[in-house]
Amino acid sequence: GQSLEQPSEVTAVEGAIVQINCTYQTSGFYGLSWYQQHDGGAPTFLSYNALDGLEETGRFSSFLSRSDSYGYLLLQELQMKDSASYFCAVRDHSNYQLIWGAGTKLIIKP
């Protein structure tokens, strides 16, 4: 079957750097996406990696290794507002719809 694995919870300190990993098992691959969801809020798109390597957008970066079926989201200079759940997702090869991980809750301490 197709699945994604990510840690359920990660704790970090304000101002620090944190990495949220995602490994996937899919029959085909069309890219790895990351979404952020604050408590009570809508999931919002953060990044999309179709090719290997690091994509940087401000304090957030996303990495993909297709040979390892692995990616991560890197958050730098953590701020309290980054406390949220982060979801990785890949596209299903059969119907192009997103398959989601269960989400990683990021807890930031002062």
Residues forming contacts to other proteins in the complex (CB under 8 A) are 4, 8, 30-31, 33, 35, 40-45, 48, 50, 87, 89, 91, 95-103
CB of 24 to other proteins, least distance (A): 12
Shortest distance in whole angstroms from residue 110 CB to other proteins: 26
Residue for token digits 């996303």?
62
Nearest distance from C-beta of residue 47 to other proteins, angstroms:
9
Q: How far apart are CA 64 and CA 33, in angstroms?
A: 10
Query: Could you give the CA distance from residue 80 to residue 110 in angstroms, rounded to a whole number?
Result: 8
